[in-house]
Structure 1
Amino acid sequence: MDISEARLDSLVSRLSEGLSVEIKTWIDPKAAEGIAKITKAVIALYNRDGGYLIIGFNNDTLQPDREDAPDDVKAAFHVDVIQGIVSRYSSISIEIQVAFVERKGSLHPVIAVPQGVTVPAAAKRDLNDNGRMLIREDTVYFRTLGSNGTPSTSAIKASDWPDLLKICFDNREADIGRFLRRQLGVEWANLFTSALKSPTLEERTRSILQQGADARQMEIEARKLSPSAQMLLQKGSWEVALVFDPPKDVEDSSSDFLAKVDSSNPEYTGWPAWLVSTNFHNTADRPYKRETAWESLILGSVSESLDFYRMHARGEFYQSRLLRDDMTDRVEPGTALDPRLAAYFVAEVIAVGLRFVSALSFDVDAKLGFMFRWNRLRGRHIDHWVDQGSYSRNKVTREDSIESYVEVPADTPASSIAPYVQRATSKLFGSFAGYELKPDAIETEVNRLLKRS
């Protein structure tokens, strides 16, 4: 799991509980109750395919809890202490990491639980505290959503077993998918991982893309943008629509739907795809209901950004963002496109969409249609400015807007999405004088993304 300073800062600066993030007030790792809470949380997060346990925040206000903090936080939550608890009570060897992050003058431990579960972890012994059974042997703990969409840790229920088994099988299939791509190549491997495209789904996805773009323009016109925000409209942007087939037979999108979208988002990046801004400080950035769908226009207050989201419970999602290439001082705005960065964000969108399948109760036989569109491209050149700093001045595009479409089966493991990312970006890259990003490079970007979860 990613425990870089940037990742930890993003976790605590936009603090919220989800299926992969659990928040606890201060607990004592030496006390029976504290041991039980750590054990259950780590096992539950591991069974959910990894995540973070963040300690020292009030569960209701999400503000630092200053009353019960230990005198020496780093000693109390030393990795050897936490690992000892996990090793004693988990049936599976789970190698955790412990990092510390500062918030408002207080130091807080973050316990990172690894991904890769292929066999469910359970408690391997009881923990009895004066007649209270805090941990029960053979119990499988799991991060689950309650009836109101609130994530929590509990003993696994019958309704959660399909999710857990799918996660385990996906991790087993990941190795098979990588083997096929290495031995057979992407084209032949696609025969095993992709389904036939449905023109009807493609048409629906294109329609949602346009509806989202129209709704974005409507909100921009309705909201009074500052002069600096108006300038952002001149920068390059990219859009994506995601449509599930078959759709849900619903007319409205409830608050419960929005909560499930929020809590099930794996947050592969610090500013994740289909961000739910319910707790944002600026009320104008928070979601609002328009024509039975949730929308939000988010203007960054610290860094320049202008994002728009639209989500409907039928299984229709849209988002628009500015090109990162125009938001850096490392290249001149409007002149460059980093292909690895483009592939990285396409991979994030697809991976997040696949997480929505089980969280929103779509059938495993469903299909996901993705329609991408990149804008204000004309005259840009290929520039690997993020990592390598190299550029190809002769790889220039004359196209101003590029659209591409890809369908992904709902049962596709996140680790097997590289062929879909390549398909979704090949038309974009090809417009730059035939430029190609090799499959190995795309696989690298996919793996880099998934390791951040």
Structure 2
Amino acid sequence: MPDPRVQQLIDQLGETEFVEVKNWLGGLAERDEQARLAKEIIALANSGGGYVILGFTDDEGQGHQPIEPQQNEATGFTQDNISAAVHRYCTPAIQCGVELYRQADGDIDHPVIQVPAANRVPVFAARQSPDNRTLTNGTVYVRRPGGNSEPCRTQDDWERLLERLVHSRQDELMNAIRNVLNPDHEFAPAAEEEAFDNWVETSRTARNEVLADLPDGHPLRLQDGHYEVAFSINPFQEPDIAELNRNLAQNRPRHSGWAPFVCLHSNGMAPRPMGDVIQAWLVGEEERDRDPFYSDFWRLSASGDGYLARAMQEDEPDFGANLAPRPYRPGFDWELPIYRMTEMLKLIEWLGLNYASAESAFQLRVTYHGMNGRRLTLHRLRYMMPRGAMAHQESISSEISGHIGEIALNTEEMIQSLLRPVFAQFDFADLPRQLVENIVQDVVGFRQ
């Protein structure tokens, strides 16, 4: 439904600190025009959000007259094209919406791009524009009174920006505390929980199908041990599957050399479209001698559901080979689960901020298979942790839920809540909070 506030803006058109008026920008066919749009989006986001209204003359002195679009200009402002421009020129990328509006006495459909406010860190230009003038790599742009988008230069510019970001973080923190002390809703009502369970079972079935031709006991079946992670984000914007795949391959967060949802494109390992699901098995069509520890199977749906099955790194032949005595085998490392689940949580956060909102709920479930008889161990000597406690059941599961906007504030608490019950199955071992905090900071601070 049309937003009456936006309709009023377009009927009484004028540039302000929160409204930018542009011509058709060539339908975003050229990189220079994409950079021009990105500059306005960056400036608006850093100034509290706003709108870019397209299809009018830029000269405010003449009253912003509507312009008839040339061929293909009007069709260039799709959600995918706008997202592509944002992901190319803005960091961190933000999710902008677009809708068509007509002036009350007009007959032209004008794209109106809604730009959300930057709510945790400033938005920067991610690269230089092709003309070397419109955008400068690493620059923060802001809106000035009167409607100009310019680099953040003066002390007043920075004070206003930082004050707004600090207030935003305070609001997030207070909301997170309120949700903990006084939850007012279920994160996963029964219908959603059933849908989540169905997603997990469907994903397991899909994995069994790609394994069907392998003989029983083949290393790629990971029968000695593996873990699976499933998550769901709701509500989710359901992006075009091609745009989701492109964004995942190019922009997903990487906090290690082998982050979750790895995208490879050689020997038949590229992700494949399966309806509204992206599916990948990192094993080539004729590559049955693939190293099982790099044979991830994963799925990601346009509805915000994800699934990953991965080998236990602790089962690698050279795991802890530099230590004496060698780590327990089969083992369960104190550090690795914290590292991997933090990576997954940050991926969920990235997906939520790109295709949902800070208020969207998520749930995350991890299940470790092949656990009976495994012992707690260490693969390096950074921490002095007790070793040898044993698990006594074949599978161990745990799950958490929360809001996307709470992840950055409560990462350590969420990881502690997710993994403490897992470690407790090793003869009642207690997961130290300080260990979690240290490793989470290692993940967040990782640089390739």
TM > 0.5? yes
| 8 A Cα contact 2:244 2:302, kept in partner | yes
| 8 A Cα contact 1:202 1:405, kept in partner | no
Deviation of 1:386 (Å): 3.4
**C-alpha separation in 2, matches of 1:189 and 1:340:** 29
- Alpha carbon RMSD of aligned pairs, Å? 4.2
Instruction: Give runs of aligned pairs for residues 104-143 of structure 1, distance below 5 A.
Output: none
What's 1:26 paired with? Answer: none
What are the Cα deviations for residues 411-434 of structure 1, in whole angstroms up to 9, with x where unaligned? 124252111111111221010011
**C-alpha separation in 2, matches of 1:207 and 1:231:** 24
Secondary structure of 1:402's counterpart equals strand
What's 2:343 paired with? Answer: 348
Structure 1 residues 154 and 409: alpha-carbon distance in aligned structure 2, compared to 1, 3 A threshold = closer
Deviation of 1:408 (Å): 2.2
Residue 299 in 1 paired to residue 283 in 2?
A: yes
**C-alpha separation in 1, matches of 2:179 and 2:379:** 31
Instruction: Give runs of aligned pairs for residues 41-440 of structure 1, distance below 5 A.
Output: 146-147=81-82, 149=84, 151-153=87-89, 161-162=115-116, 164-168=118-122, 172=166, 190-191=180-181, 196-200=186-190, 201-222=192-213, 230=219, 233-248=222-237, 254-277=241-264, 280-282=265-267, 284-299=268-283, 304-327=293-316, 328-330=318-320, 331=326, 334-360=329-355, 362-388=356-382, 392-440=386-434
| 8 A Cα contact 1:206 1:371, kept in partner | no
- AA partner of residue 260 (structure 2): A
What's 1:115 paired with? Answer: none
Deviation of 1:207 (Å): 2.5
**C-alpha separation in 1, matches of 2:202 and 2:248:** 20
Deviation of 1:270 (Å): 1.3
| 8 A Cα contact 1:149 1:263, kept in partner | no
Secondary structure of 1:447's counterpart equals helix
- AA partner of residue 239 (structure 1): E
What are the Cα deviations for residues 151-199 of structure 1, in whole angstroms up to 9, with x where unaligned? 322699996852633435998589979x99xxxxx99995499975424
1:447 to 430, 437, 441: 441
Residues paired across the two proteins, number: 307
| 8 A Cα contact 1:232 1:306, kept in partner | no
Structure 1 residues 249 and 338: alpha-carbon distance in aligned structure 2, compared to 1, 3 A threshold = closer
Deviation of 1:410 (Å): 1.4
What are the Cα deviations for residues 177-236 of structure 1, in whole angstroms up to 9, with x where unaligned? 9x99xxxxx9999549997542434433333222212111111215x68x9963662331
**C-alpha separation in 2, matches of 1:207 and 1:173:** 40
- AA partner of residue 202 (structure 2): Q
What's 1:80 paired with? Answer: none
**C-alpha separation in 2, matches of 1:305 and 1:173:** 43
- AA partner of residue 198 (structure 1): A
Secondary structure of 1:149's counterpart equals helix
**C-alpha separation in 2, matches of 1:335 and 1:450:** 29
Bigger Rg over Cα: 2
- Higher relative strand content: 1
What are the Cα deviations for residues 366-398 of structure 1, in whole angstroms up to 9, with x where unaligned? 101111111000001111223447664551110
Scaled by the length of structure 2, the TM-score of the pair is 0.58
Structure 1 residues 166 and 395: alpha-carbon distance in aligned structure 2, compared to 1, 3 A threshold = same
**C-alpha separation in 2, matches of 1:167 and 1:231:** 42
**C-alpha separation in 2, matches of 1:255 and 1:216:** 22
**C-alpha separation in 2, matches of 1:193 and 1:167:** 27
Structure 1 residues 422 and 202: alpha-carbon distance in aligned structure 2, compared to 1, 3 A threshold = farther
Structure 1 residues 172 and 162: alpha-carbon distance in aligned structure 2, compared to 1, 3 A threshold = same
Structure 1 residues 449 and 195: alpha-carbon distance in aligned structure 2, compared to 1, 3 A threshold = farther
What's 2:73 paired with? Answer: none
Question: Identical aligned pairs, as a percentage?
Answer: 15
**C-alpha separation in 2, matches of 1:291 and 1:161:** 30
What are the Cα deviations for residues 328-387 of structure 1, in whole angstroms up to 9, with x where unaligned? 432568521112211111111011110111222x13211011111110000011112234
In structure 1, the gaps of 5 or more residues are 1-39, 49-117, 121-143, 181-185
What's 1:111 paired with? Answer: none
What's 2:29 paired with? Answer: none
Scaled by the length of structure 1, the TM-score of the pair is 0.57
In structure 2, the gaps of 5 or more residues are 1-34, 49-78, 97-111, 123-161, 285-289, 321-325
**C-alpha separation in 1, matches of 2:184 and 2:250:** 28
**C-alpha separation in 2, matches of 1:364 and 1:356:** 11
Structure 1 residues 391 and 261: alpha-carbon distance in aligned structure 2, compared to 1, 3 A threshold = same
- AA partner of residue 445 (structure 2): K
- AA partner of residue 152 (structure 1): R
**C-alpha separation in 2, matches of 1:443 and 1:187:** 19
**C-alpha separation in 1, matches of 2:382 and 2:339:** 15
Structure 1 residues 294 and 159: alpha-carbon distance in aligned structure 2, compared to 1, 3 A threshold = same
- AA partner of residue 344 (structure 2): V
Deviation of 1:285 (Å): 1.0
**C-alpha separation in 2, matches of 1:303 and 1:230:** 6
